[in-house]
Chains A and B, each alone.
Chain A
Amino acid sequence: EPEVTQTPSHQVTQMGQEVILRCVPISNHLYFYWYRQILGQKVEFLVSFYNNEISEKSEIFDDQFSVERPDGSNFTLKIRSTKLEDSAMYFCASKGTQSEQYFGPGTRLTVT
């Protein structure tokens, strides 16, 4: 069964550094999403992406964040100048013509 994959599974970075989280959505999917879950809190929407542009973003998704689909298969989330409060699990999701959003296993980001 096709699945969404994410790399790395765990990323440790120092405050102020830039990180790129990578996702490979299911191959024929057209809609892509990033969510995050701070430890002990609910899963929060960050951004959705369709047709090579952002279709919706939350108030969390400020100028520190950017997304890109660089090569037709990967979907990346870049976080510039990371802060301690960016420590969270980041989930990528994709959706095709069917209704269901498929979630990846997540990348745990730890900012020290």
Chain B
Amino acid sequence: KQEVTQIPAALSVPEGENLVLNCSFTDSAIYNLQWFRQDPGKGLTSLLLIQSSQREQTSGRLNASLDKSSGRSTLYIAASQPGDSATYLCAVRYTNAGKSTFGDGTTLTVKP
């Protein structure tokens, strides 16, 4: 069964810290992996998409890496801000048009 796991489930850090969120997947034959942000009661905001042939993607203070062979991805957030507080979800797809399989998410709280 293709499963996606995110660790930790929750994380609380003081403002300004750099942090890493983890995502692991049981079947390493992914097509791509996408990181999302979700604010409470809201929709999914796409942050970064990494194709299976890529090792990392960057957008502003966010950097996502992918290690297919070990079935892992990390989302690195630099210089965290209170506005980064949200739940971060990773999702994998195994074919171009296939479904996304989501992890449970990591709920991040950045304290001022």
Q: Which residues of A contact B (CB under 8 A)?
A: 31, 33, 35, 41-45, 48, 50, 55-56, 58, 89, 91, 93, 95, 99-106, 108
Contacts and interface: CB of A to CB of B under 8 A. Distances in A.
B103 A95 contact: no
A55 B96 CA distance: 13
A103 B38 CA distance: 12
Given A42-B105, A43-B89, A43-B91, A101 B42 contact: no
A52 to B, nearest CB: 14
A91 B43 contact: yes
Interface of B: 31-32, 34, 36, 41-44, 46, 49, 51, 89, 91, 93, 96-105
Contacts, number: 56
B44 A43 contact: yes
A56 B105 contact: no
B44 A55 contact: no
Given A43-B89, A43-B91, A101 B43 contact: no
B56 to A, nearest CB: 16
Nearest to B95: A56
Given A42-B104, A43-B91, A56 B99 contact: yes
